[in-house]
Amino acid sequence: MKFPIVSLTALILSFGLLTAQSPDVVIYPKPREATRLAATNFVARSVSTPHTETAAKVFNDVLWADLKFSAFFEMPSKSFYPLKLLRSPLDVDFDPWQAAPVDVDFLVFGNLEAETAGVVVEAYLYDVKTKGQVLGKRYSVGDSTLVRKIAHQFADQIVYQLSAGSSRGIASTQIAFSSLKGDSKEVYIADYDGSNSRTVTANGGINKFPGWSPDNAELAFITILSGKSRWELWIQNLQGGRRVLPMPTSYVSSPSFSSDGKQIVFSGRDKGSSNPDIFAADTAGENRTNLSSHRAIDTSPTWSPTSRQVAFISDRSGTPQVWVVDSDGSNLQRLVTEGGHCDSPDWSPDGRLIAYSWQAPKRWDHDVYVVEVASKKIFQLTSGRGSKENPHWSPDGRHITFQGTRTGTKQIFIMNADGENLKQITAYGINEGPAWSGYFDQP
Amino acid sequence: MKCGLAIGLNLVLCLSLVLISSSCKKKTLSMARPPAPPIPSVGDRPGTTKSAPTIKVSASPSTIERGNQTTLSWTSTGANSILIDGGIGNVAETGSLVLSPGESITYTAIAKGSASDTRSSTRVTVVARRDGSVVSSDLEGLQRAIAEGKVRPVFFQYDLANLSPEGKRILTENARWISQYPTAVAIIEGHCDERGTEEYNLALGDRRALAARDYLLEVGVAAGQLEALSFGEERPFSACHEESCWKQNRRAHFVVKR
């Protein structure tokens, strides 16, 4: 595990038969018939203590939010639930859970016990129709502040099981972004829901456009240190240590790792050139290849998930539009032909779609759109107040993070990939340029 | 070429450009260094007017690193007056001056007699500093030129990196000032207004800085004196969200590299 904040002892007690249909992963990630899920509040295992009450509240809120945001389930309101508390499988009477208005396919319940020294959670997922157990897990950690982490892990397990493996769940993923601190902008990482934010850089410069390595071990971003007259491309290891990739000029922007982690693509400028081009290089910054070579602005590159193509922004046609080129520089084609200003393309994990921001002609704000690569059809995902920029896909391709100004300042939002379920995850200062990590935990 | 162009613009510009142009050394005057106060001329003396005067001028050392000093020495006989160009003026019949020319220059001394003049020239070659170091007076000079608005920013239209005729005029004047402090380096910062996206604006700011840099190179500024750097929309000069501020923020801005 690349992110050893928590060591979990998970004990899979038994598995039931899966009856849930796997929904198609499409831009509008709604299965024809949604899986109905109830997630009851976890209760104290034995005696209720203030510690346990606090931990239970956090666990229940986080688990509910994770399952709701996963976009896999229809979840009837807790106010409809039968009143009987479910502590263990022995407590469950399945009949009222199958009756209207609850009428769910699956039922989540469990118990927990917290002390200063740690927390123990027993968590269950049952198939209501077959009355069979799908998941039974016991989590034990030595720090009760990690109860959030346990809730995320269990939510991911539920999603993984009930989606028949089409998603590993995004509840344990993280989002990197750039945050204004005084005169500087530092790179931060937070849980996908905005909690637990922590700083990655503290160099007092401007640090922007973070991108994750596929193993989540490193972040690539650009930095200009105070008093320096060049942008640098940094690759920062999250366990410590960094390297600065050599660049011939003062301009470098928008780094993005290839899916095998061996290459990086970025916007840069060669000596003697007067315009930014797209370059691919190895992760030491060597073996540069110019993929775009044009007297126009070429920036904001993103790899296709196979690393065979790169999408980027070029204004060679007059205004910045989305273009695609093979990773050897051949087969250049324009993907978006709507005019206006496009920026920040990001290729979906299944390779079918590219999300980007678009300022329509004569419009003021940007909105997030996706273009289907094969058909070049475009879909609008956001609307309403403020400018929405820098979209980035979640690793399961069912969600998108972006920065929006609807509150007056740039803040980070997450939403379903169809534009629904919008959620603001930062509130203070100015936060921009979000990048969603890959999966952290093995299913 | 440069001189002719400058005369076309105005005389003052020409006079300053000849200082940095070795091809126009006949009328060399200095804008940067005011002429030294006139030294009383040798004057007429009986018996010196019949034959042609003699004059010998030399510089030691004849090659200096930029910012270093050379001693210009001369001796003459039989002259009514001695004039040395390069902004020095009338001098005594024998003497020396410690000088620190910014660029290679030929000093010509003219000994004026009653019947005829005699000339003597010496060349001082100014080379780049071997250690690449900056002369602090250049740094301060360029800093002052920027602070006093002699080196000025140039502004751009929305979403464009093209120089306007006004922008080119400003850059031509900037070039003159930057060249006067040859060991100082000017950073040309490209800036954008807040409209448009961050990634595109960082690239657009780069093009704006490069447009200004390329024009300065064209009008003769040494490449080693210029660095281009984009700030995109990261460092706005004015904070409001309308054109009155935006136009201030679409600029190529000059700062001294420290």
Confidence of residue B38 (pLDDT cuts 50, 70, 90): low
Predicted local distance difference test score (pLDDT) of residue B11? 39
B43 and B95 belong to one structural domain = yes
Mean pLDDT for all residues in chain B: 83
pLDDT digits (tens, 9 = 90+) for B112-132: 988 889 999 999 988 877 777
CA dist., res. A147 & res. B8, Å (int): 79
Query: Which residue does chain B place closest to A357, by CA atoms?
Result: B197
DSSP conformation class of A103: -
pLDDT at B258 over 70: yes
Domain count for chain B, please give it.
2
pLDDT digits (tens, 9 = 90+) for A136-153: 999 999 888 899 999 999
CA dihedral B164, B170, B172, B176 (to 10 degrees): -170
Structure tokens at A215: 């193993």
A150 and A184 belong to one structural domain = no
A158 and A181 belong to one structural domain = no
Q: Which helix (H) or strand (E) holds B173?
A: helix B165-179
The verdict on residue A199 lying in a domain is yes
The verdict on residue B27 lying in a domain is no
Query: Which residue does chain B place closest to A224, by CA atoms?
Result: B231
B88 and B163 belong to one structural domain = no
Return the CATH number at B109: 2.60.40.10
CA dist., res. A111 & res. A116, Å (int): 17
Domain boundary residue among B70, B94, B127?
Answer: B127
Domain boundary residue among B127, B156, B177?
Answer: B127
The verdict on residue A212 lying in a domain is yes
The verdict on residue B172 lying in a domain is yes
Q: Are strands A43-44 and A106-115 parallel, antiparallel or unpaired?
A: parallel
A91 and A199 belong to one structural domain = no
| Contact present, A277 and A267 (Cβ < 8 Å) | yes
B76 and B166 belong to one structural domain = no
The verdict on residue B16 lying in a domain is no
pLDDT at A289 over 70: yes
pLDDT at B45 over 70: no
Complex ipTM tops 0.95: no
Scanning the structure block, which residue is given the tokens 């609807």?
A406
Distances from the Cα of A42 to the Cα of A71, A131, A306, angstroms = 22, 19, 42
B210 and B181 belong to one structural domain = yes
* Residues pairing with A266 in the sheet: A279
> A275 and B210 in contact by Cβ < 8 A?
yes
B233 and B200 belong to one structural domain = yes
The verdict on residue B221 lying in a domain is yes
Q: Which residues of A touch B246 (CB under 8 A)?
A: none
pLDDT at B164 over 60: yes
pLDDT digits (tens, 9 = 90+) for A36-79: 999 999 999 988 899 999 999 999 999 999 999 999 999 999 99
Structure tokens at A254: 């928008």
A195 and A112 belong to one structural domain = no
Structure tokens at A216: 């989540």
A50 and A142 belong to one structural domain = yes
Q: Which helix (H) or strand (E) holds A342?
A: strand A341-347
Domain boundary residue among A129, A162, A195?
Answer: A162
Looking at residues B6-16, what average pLDDT do you find? 39
The verdict on residue A441 lying in a domain is no
Q: Which helix (H) or strand (E) holds A157?
A: helix A147-162
Is residue B172 left, alpha or beta, with left meaning phi > 0 and alpha meaning psi from -120 to 50?
alpha
pLDDT digits (tens, 9 = 90+) for A159-177: 999 998 889 999 999 999 9
Predicted local distance difference test score (pLDDT) of residue A389? 98
Closest CA–CA distance from residue B177 to any residue of chain A (Å):
21
Looking at residues B193-216, what average pLDDT do you find? 96
B54 and B74 belong to one structural domain = yes
CA dist., res. B170 & res. A135, Å (int): 73
Mapped onto helix, strand or coil, the DSSP state of residue B186 is strand
* Residues pairing with A302 in the sheet: A311
A178 and A146 belong to one structural domain = no
Query: Which residue does chain A place closest to B234, by CA atoms?
Result: A206
pLDDT digits (tens, 9 = 90+) for A208-233: 999 999 999 999 999 999 999 999 99
The verdict on residue A442 lying in a domain is no
B64 and B153 belong to one structural domain = no
Short-list A384, A382, A388, CA closest to A412? A388
> A231 and B258 in contact by Cβ < 8 A?
no
A192 and A266 belong to one structural domain = yes
CA dist., res. A267 & res. A300, Å (int): 7
Q: Which residues of A touch B200 (CB under 8 A)?
A: 297, 299-300, 313, 315, 320, 341, 343
The verdict on residue B23 lying in a domain is no
> B200 and A300 in contact by Cβ < 8 A?
yes
Domain boundary residue among A114, A129, A162?
Answer: A162
Dihedral sign from CA coordinates of A176, A178, A179, A182: positive
A46 and A130 belong to one structural domain = yes
Predicted local distance difference test score (pLDDT) of residue B76? 92
Q: Which domain holds residue B188?
A: 136-256
> A343 and B199 in contact by Cβ < 8 A?
yes
Q: Which residues of A touch B228 (CB under 8 A)?
A: 250-251
Domain count for chain A, please give it.
2
Q: Which domain holds residue A79?
A: 35-162
B99 and B179 belong to one structural domain = no
pLDDT at A267 over 70: yes
pLDDT at B34 over 60: no
> B202 and A299 in contact by Cβ < 8 A?
yes
pLDDT at A19 over 50: no
Short-list A318, A264, A322, CA closest to A296? A318
The verdict on residue A86 lying in a domain is yes
> A253 and B202 in contact by Cβ < 8 A?
yes
A42 and A78 belong to one structural domain = yes
> A297 and B199 in contact by Cβ < 8 A?
no
B79 and B145 belong to one structural domain = no
The verdict on residue B118 lying in a domain is yes
A269 and A121 belong to one structural domain = no
pLDDT digits (tens, 9 = 90+) for A72-126: 999 999 999 999 999 999 999 999 999 989 999 999 999 999 987 899 999 999 9
DSSP conformation class of B52: P
CA dist., res. A265 & res. A280, Å (int): 4
Mean pLDDT for all residues in chain A: 91
Show the beta-strand stretches assigned E in chain B.
54-60, 63-65, 70-77, 81-84, 89-91, 94-99, 105-112, 117-127, 154-155, 186-191, 226-232, 251-256
CA dist., res. A2 & res. A438, Å (int): 11
Short-list A399, A403, A371, A400, CA closest to A387? A403
Predicted local distance difference test score (pLDDT) of residue B135? 83
Domain boundary residue among A99, A131, A162?
Answer: A162
B121 and B161 belong to one structural domain = no
CA angle A417, A418, A424 (to 5 degrees): 65
A192 and A87 belong to one structural domain = no
Return the CATH number at A87: 3.40.50.10070
Predicted local distance difference test score (pLDDT) of residue B130? 75
The verdict on residue A12 lying in a domain is no
CA dist., res. A13 & res. A29, Å (int): 31
The verdict on residue B250 lying in a domain is yes
Predicted local distance difference test score (pLDDT) of residue B114? 86
Domain boundary residue among B127, B151, B172?
Answer: B127
- B258 in contact with A at a CB cutoff of 8 Å? yes
Taken as a whole, chain A contains a residue count of 443
B39 and B108 belong to one structural domain = yes
Return the CATH number at B236: 3.30.1330.60
Mapped onto helix, strand or coil, the DSSP state of residue A428 is coil
pTM: 0.80
List residues in chain A touching B: CB distance below 8 A. 185, 206, 208-209, 227, 229-231, 250-251, 253-254, 267, 269, 274-276, 297-300, 313, 315, 319-320, 341, 343-344, 357, 359, 364, 366, 389-390, 432-433
The verdict on residue A240 lying in a domain is yes
A149 and A179 belong to one structural domain = no
B116 and B172 belong to one structural domain = no
Q: Are strands A218-224 and A206-212 parallel, antiparallel or unpaired?
A: antiparallel
Predicted local distance difference test score (pLDDT) of residue B137? 86
- B217 in contact with A at a CB cutoff of 8 Å? no
